Amino acid sequence: MRAQAWTIAPALVLALAATGCATKKYVQTENKAIHTRIDEVQGEVEKTQTRLDTQDKKVDDVQTQVTQVSQTAQDALQRAQEAGKLAQGKLLYETVLTDDKVRFGFNRHELSAPAKTALDDFAGKLKTENKAVYVEIQGHTDDVGTKDYNERLGLERAEAVRRYLNQQHGFPLHRINVISYGATASIDTNKTREGRAHNRRVNLVVLE
């Protein structure tokens, strides 16, 4: 019996040792997998943060542009209030004709077919809302040319829009004001062709 016990004991020790080695190897494998997963998660977090930072920058850029454009809308509201043109004294919204299809050409004030379509949509919205609104039409230019020239060109652009709204949609002239900002309220750089094209625009500020 005693000899048999000694025979079993080494076998048991070996079995326990083997189990211990297997357990240690399993733990090491699991730890490696966990660390790999942690690295992957951290990588995803970093990518997400980068996307958020990029999105925040885009939002900041848009907010900056909106602030610049909205300043002219606030100017329109003040002018209309001082002239007693408004029933409620509210700024409702602003439409800007400045996208790729609507932009005014260099030294041009004529309305293109896409610009007329955009104005048709604008007039249709006013009719659907059935509100007695007041509209200020603001003409803008790039900075090429003299100050007097750009002020005149901006006014011609605003006048072209007023005529179209009146003649094609019957919008009453006494509820429209036109003004030229010339090149004084740019929303983009005037150092590039693309930027100058953005600045050649008309803003329609709707007030009540």
The pTM assigned to this predicted structure is: 0.64
Mean pLDDT, to the nearest integer, of 7-31? 57
Name the one residue in this structure whose structure tokens are 């399993």: 26
User: Distance from first CA to last CA of the chain, Å, rounded?
Assistant: 108
Residue 140, token pair as written in the block: 């803008």
Read off the pLDDT of residues 152-171 as tens digits, 9 standing for 90 and up: 999 999 999 999 999 999 99
Domains defined along the chain, listed by start: 64-207 (3.30.1330.60)
3 state SS of 22: helix
Phi-psi label, residue 99: left if phi above 0, alpha if psi -120 to 50, beta otherwise: beta
Q: What was the pLDDT predicted at 40?
A: 73
Name the one residue in this structure whose structure tokens are 């007030």: 207
Reported confidence tier of residue 144, pLDDT bands at 50, 70, 90: very high
Contacts of 97 (CB under 8 A, 6+ apart): 103, 115, 118, 119, 161, 201, 202, 203, 204
User: What's the rounded Cα separation, in Å, for the pair 167 and 162?
Assistant: 8
